[in-house]
A and B are shown apart, each in its own frame.
Chain A
Amino acid sequence: AQSVTQPDIHITVSEGASLELRCNYSYGATPYLFWYVQSPGQGLQLLLKYFSGDTLVQGIKGFEAEFKRSQSSFNLRKPSVHWSDAAEYFCAVGPPSGGYQKVTFGTGTKLQVIP
């Protein structure tokens, strides 16, 4: 069964500092990988996704993620965090194309940004 692990429940960074959120997945083949962001009381917004090709994926709001097959990881990074990035971040995994796409989410990492 597919699964996602986000080992950091809560992370605090200073505004302007760099950020890396960790995500490890378990899946039998190369999956589709996603990062979503959720602001309090809101739905989820897709930051970026990886299907194939270049393992470094660029997303919205200055975020990027790198797929590392050997480590089963898909870590999210941002070089300089803004106060508006404070939110909860979810990594998710889904099967490759074909059929419908059941997506499994991690438990999330809550990001706090301090001045």
Chain B
Amino acid sequence: DTGVSQDPRHKITKRGQNVTFRCDPISEHNRLYWYRQTLGQGPEFLTYFQNEAQLEKSRLLSDRFSAERPKGSFSTLEIQRTEQGDSAMYLCASSIQPDNEQFFGPGTRLTVL
């Protein structure tokens, strides 16, 4: 296993369109995290899964955002009706309980025109 992978690496969309990102964690990792990173800022926590259960969502995750991890393996993050303010790098990370070292993927850079 080569680490956390994310797809696509880049996405350009028009305002109002829906987008979906995928994250494949390290295979034995049961914890998965989504972060958003804007220019000049550190990553901001969005949501966390333990296996298939979504255990916490940040206030940053508006109703237009939804994340799933249906079988406790890969995860998807969907943004509906995108806005220009959604432009950011979306990072996925995974870890294995009880260790709390998070391994990050390369990120998906979203540009909303």
By a beta-carbon cutoff of 8 Å, the part of chain A in contact with chain B is 4, 9, 32, 34, 36, 41-46, 49, 90, 92, 94, 97, 100-108
Contact = CB atoms under 8 A, between A and B. Distances in A.
Contacts of A45: 104
A23 to B, nearest CB: 11
Assign chain B's interface to a size class. 20 to 34
Given A43-B4, A43-B91, A44-B91, A97 B40 contact: no
B109 to A, nearest CB: 7
B107 A43 contact: yes
Contacts of B98: 97
Contacts of B33: 103
B45 A102 contact: yes
Interface of B: 4, 6, 31, 33, 40-45, 48, 50, 55-56, 91, 93, 95, 98, 100-107, 109
Contacts of B44: 105
A97 B95 CA distance: 13
Given A9-B40, A46-B103, A108-B41, 20 more contacts: A32-B100, A41-B109, A42-B107, A43-B4, A43-B6, A43-B107, A46-B101, A46-B102, A49-B101, A94-B100, A100-B48, A100-B56, A101-B100, A101-B102, A103-B100, A104-B45, A107-B40, A107-B41, A107-B42, A108-B40
